Structure 1
Amino acid sequence: MPTKQKSITVEESLKKSLKEVSDYKYAIDESSIVAITDQKGIILHANDNFCKISKYSRKELIGQDHRIINSGHHPKEFIRNLWHTIANGKIWRGELKNKAKDGTIYWVDTTIVPFLNEEKKPYQYVAIRADITERKRTEEILESSLKEISDYKYALDESSIVAITDQKGIIKYVNNNFCKISKYSSSELIGQDHRIINSAYHPKDFIRNLWITIANGKIWRGELKNKAKDGTYYWVDTTIIPFLNELGKPYQYIAIRADITMRKEAEEENLRLKFELEERVKQRTEELEAFSYSISHDLRAPLRAINGYAKMLEEDYNDLFDIEGKRLLNVVQENAKRMGVLIDDLLAFARLGRKKLAKSNIKMTELTEAAWIEVTKSTTTKYTIKIDQLHSIVADRSLINQVMINLISNAVKYSSKTKGPKIEIKSEKESGSIVYSVSDNGAGFENEYGNKLFGVFQRLHSPDEFEGTGVGLALVKRIIDKHGGKVWAKGELNKGAKFYFSLPIR
C-alpha cells in the first residue's frame, strides 16, 4: 500500500476515534456530574451539572481544592480510604454527601477514575457522579420510620403481652411477656392454635362474637380469662387488631394484652364479701324485724292492762284524788297513749320488711290531696297548702300513701307554731327518676344534722316541743329504699325544711 494512502487511512481512523471520544464525553457531560482534579485534588474541570448541583460557578471552582464541597458528614477514616484507593491507581465507588455553596446538602453516587502516566502513577482523577439526593432523602425518611416502628415495637414488647396469629388463629409470634404469663416457651407456642390458652370460662357466643368482629376487619376490645400451662388462670385486658391485605381482608391478627389478674381477683373478692355482707345484713334485719315484732306484740298486753286500770281509776276513784294525784294519773294515761303509738309505729316498721311490693300506676296528685285531707281533718290550724300537678308513678300504692301521710304530718307538725304556716308539694323529672318534695316554713333544722333525721328514734326536737316517736321518717326511708329510690332533706333553723324522695321510672 502506498505511504500516502496509508497515512489517509490512519488519519481517518484517528478522526473517527476522536469523534467517538468526543461523543462519549458529550454523553457523560449531559447525563452526569463531572469534575477533574489533579493528583492533589485541585479542581481542573467542572461541567455544567457540577456547577448546577454545587451552586458554584465554574470560575469559583477551578483552582480550588475539592474540599470546597466537603460537608463534614463522612469520618476521616472514610476519606482516608478513598484517597488511599485512588492514589494506588484503583477505581473508587461509593456515595458521598456534599455541601453546596448555599449550605444545602446533596448526595451523589460517585465513581472516581485515576488517569495514570507511563509510570502507572495517577496524574489526575475524573469523578463521575449521579444525583441521588431524593433517593437518600427517601431512604432517611424510611430509616427514620423503621427506627420509630422499631422503637414502638420495643416499647410494646417491654410493656405488653403480645402475640401474632394468622387468619386461622395459628400462633406466629409471641413475646417474652406472653411466655412468662402463659408459662409456655416460645417453641411450645409457635405453630399452635391460639386455643392452647383457652380457659373455657367464656360462653361460645362470646368467643363467636369476638371472631366475627376481627374477621370483618374490626378491632375487638375486652377482657379474657386464659389458662396457663400449669393450669392456673390469669386475666388479660385485650385488644385484637386485624392486619388487612389489599382486598381489605385480614391476613393476620396482633393481640396486645395487659395483665389484670390482680384487679379481677380483687373484684371477685369484693363481690364475695359484698354478697356475704348482704346475706349477713339480710339475716340480721330479719332477726331484728322478728325481735321488734315480737317485742311490740308482747308489749301490747301489759299496755292494755295499764290503760285499763288507769281508766278504772279515773272513772271509779277520781273523787278520791287530789289535784296532784289527778295530774299524775293523766301523765300515766298520756305516756301509755304515746307508748301505744310507738308500738304501732314499730310494728309497721317491722312488717314493712316482710311486705312484698304490689305495684300499680299511681296518680300522685289525687293520692296527695287525699293524704292532706286525712292528716288535717282534725286540726284547727289554718294552713296555706299548694299541691302542684304531680307526676304519676308506678309503685306500691299503700306504701307511697304512707310516705305522703308521714311527710305531710311532719310538715304540719313542725309548722304548727309558725305564724301563717305554708306547705308546698312538688315533683319534677330527673334522669330516670321522679323527685317529689314536701316543704314547709316551720321550725326547720341545721343542715349538718340532715342525715340523722331518717334513723329510727332520731329526733332533733324534744317531745315537749313537738310530739312524735322518731319512727315516721325512718319508715319513709325504708319504703323508698324498698322501691329503689332515695330520700334526703334540706333545712334552715327556724325557716323551714324541705324533704325529698325519688322513685325510679320503670
Structure 2
Amino acid sequence: MEYIFTTTDPMLLFLAIVLTFMASYTAIDLFTLINSSDRNKEFLFLGGVTSMGIGIWVMNVLVTFTINTVDLSDYNIPLEILSVLLGIIFIGIAFYNLVARPYRTSRLYTSSFFLTLAVFCFHVLGVYSMNYTMSFDPEILFVSLAMIFISFLFSLWILFSKKYSYTRRGWLRPVSTLIITLAIVEGYFLLSRASSFYNPRQMSEDGGQLKGSFVFYIVIFMSVLILTGLIVTSTLVSKRLASSYTNLQDFKFALDQSSIVAMTDRRGRIIYANDKFCEISKYSRDELIGQDHRILNSGYHPKSFFKDLWKTIGTGHVWKGEICNRAKDGSFYWVNTTIVPFLDNTYKPYQYIAIRTDITERKRTEEYLHRQDKLAAVGQLAAGVAHEIRNPLTSMQGYAEFLTLDEKDEQRKEFLEIILDEINRVDDILEDFMVLARPKDLTMETGNIVLTVQNVLSLLDYDARQQNVSVSFENEQDSMQVVMDENRMKQVFLNLVKNAIEAMPEGGDLSINIDYDLEREQRWVHIKIADSGMGISEKNLKKISNPFYTTKENGNGLGLMISYKIVENLKGKIHIDSAVGEGTTFHVYLPAAERK
C-alpha cells in the first residue's frame, strides 16, 4: 500500500477521482431517466453503460500508469480493449438488471456483484495489458472484493430503492455517485494491496518515458472529450425530460382534481390512491394502500361481472363500465370507471390504473325520471279506473250487504262475507290509485318529524314483537322541524317500517336514525330505516319501484310507489341501499324547515 501512495502523483490521483465522479454521475443521471422516456431508452442505456465504463477505465489507467512509466511498445492494446469491452458488458448486465421491470430488491445484490466483477476485470486485465504479471493474497483479496461489493450495494440501494420517490432523486444522485466513486477508488487501492506486481522486462530509459507520457496524455484527452460529450448529452436530455415531467405533473394535477384515480399492481393490490378516492370511499390512504378493491365491494354486482372485468384487463384490453361501490361508512356510490392495463415486454399487465367519475347523483336522477314515467302512467290509469270502477263496486257492496242480512245458510253467508272483504280490498287499491291521481291534495304545515316517526313505531310495536324484531330509535335532536303533510308522512313511514319488519320473518334488528345531513347543498333531515333481513337482489332492486311489483303474497305493489310519490311531492328524496344477505336501508331526505 505504501508503494502505491509513494509512486502516485497526488494531482493525477485527484484528476482520476474527478473524472471518475463525472463519468459516474453522467451514467447514473442517464440510468434514472430511462423509465421517463420511451423513445430514447436504448440511447440512454448505452450512454450510461459507456460513461460508467469510461469512469472505471480512467481510474485504472491513471493509477496503473503512475506505478511506472510504460513504453508504448510494451503496452498490449488488444488486451486493454478486451478489458474495456468485458467491463462494459458486466456494467450493462448490472444496470439492465435494475432498470428492467418489475423492480425487485433482490436484484440489487446481483447488480452489485457484476459491478464488483467489472472493477476487478478492469484492474487485472489493465495490469496485464502493461505486460506485468501479478499474484494475489487470497485473504486480502476476499476482504477487498467484499468491501467493494458492499459499497456498490449501498449506493444502488439509495438510488433505486422504492422508499425514495422521483422528486427526491435530485440529492440522491450526487450522494449515490460519490459512494460509487469511492467504491471504484477503494477498489483499485484495495486490489493493489492484495496483489504483487512483477515486470519481466527492464524498462527503457528516456525514450520509453517520452512515449509513455505521450500515451498518458492521449488517454486523458480522449477521456475528457468523451465525458464532455456525454455530460452535454445528459444535460440536454434532462432538460427535455424535465419539461415533459412538468407537463405530466400538470396533467396529473388536473386529473386528480376532476377524477377518482387509483393504481394497482398485477394482483390488484392498491399502490396509489388520490385524494378524491379517499374522499368518496371514506377510507384513509393508509387503509387503502396494500388492499385490493374487494374492500369496496357492495355486493350489488354478480361474480360474473367481475370475472368479465378481470378477463378483459388481464388480456391487455381497456375496460369501461359503471360500478356500484360501498364506502367505509356503509353508504353506496356509483362510479363510471375506465381501467387501463400497463403491459411489460411480454405484453402481460404489470400494473393497472383506474380512472373513475362519481355518477351517484346521475344514477339517482335516472331512477327518479324512470319512476316519474311509471307514476305518470299509473296516474293516468288511476284517473279513469277509479271513477269507472268505484260506482259499480259501490252497488256490488250494497247488494252483498243486503243479501247478508237475510241469509240463514252459514256457508252462503261466509261466501258473501268473502265477497265483501274482496270488495273492500279493491276499494283500498282504488284509494291508492286516487293518491297517485291527486298528488297536490296535501295539507302542508311545519311539524316535528321525530314525533311522527315515534307515533308510527308505537302503532307497529305489536307487529314487531310478534315477529321477534328488536327496534332501536335514535334522533340527533328532540325537535327536528320539516314542512309536511303529517298524515301522508305517517303513511310513508308505515309502509317502510312495516316492509322492514316483514322482511325479517325469523326476527332481527331494525334501527331508525334521524339526523341532519349537512354535506348537501341545503339543510336536510335524514331518516334512515335499516333492517337486518335477507336484502334485495340486484334484479329485484331495479323493479322495486314498479307499480304492482311485490314479493309479498298479500301485497298490491303500490305501497312503495305511493311513498316515493308523497316524498317527492314534499320536495324530498328516497333511495335504497341493499345487498343480498346484508339487509336493506331506506334513506329518506326531507328539506328542513327554516329556523325562526
- Name the TM-score class by shorter chain: 0.3 to 0.5
User: TM-score by structure 1 length?
Assistant: 0.42
Q: Which is greater in Rg?
A: 1
Q: Which has the higher helix share?
A: 2
Structure with the bigger RCO (C-alpha within 8 Å, sep 6+) is: 2
Structure with greater strand share of residues = 1
- Structure 2 length normalisation: TM-score? 0.37
